[in-house]
Amino acid sequence: MASGNAIRGSRVGAGPMGEAERGESAPRLRISFWCANEHETQPSFASDAQVPDTWDCPRCGFPAGQDRDNPPDPPRTEPYKTHLAYVRERRSDADGEAILAEALAKLRGEI
Number of domains making up the chain = 2
Q: Is 10 within the bounds of a domain?
A: no
Q: Which domain holds residue 103?
A: 77-110
Q: Is 102 within the bounds of a domain?
A: yes
Q: Is 36 within the bounds of a domain?
A: yes
Which of the four pLDDT bands, split at 50, 70 and 90, describes residue 79?
Answer: confident
Which of the four pLDDT bands, split at 50, 70 and 90, describes residue 13?
Answer: low
Based on the domain organization, do 84 and 106 belong to the same domain? yes
Based on the domain organization, do 36 and 61 belong to the same domain? yes
77 DSSP assignment: P
**What is the distance between the alpha carbons of residues 89 and 96, in angstroms, rounded to a whole number?**
11
Binding-site positions for Zn(2+): 35, 39, 57, 60
pLDDT winner (highest mean) among 1-10, 33-42, 86-95 = 33-42
Binding-site positions: 35, 39, 57, 60
pTM of the model: 0.54
The residues, ordered by sequence, that sit 6+ positions from 67 with a Cβ below 8 Å of its Cβ are: 34
**What is the distance between the alpha carbons of residues 31 and 43, in angstroms, rounded to a whole number?**
6
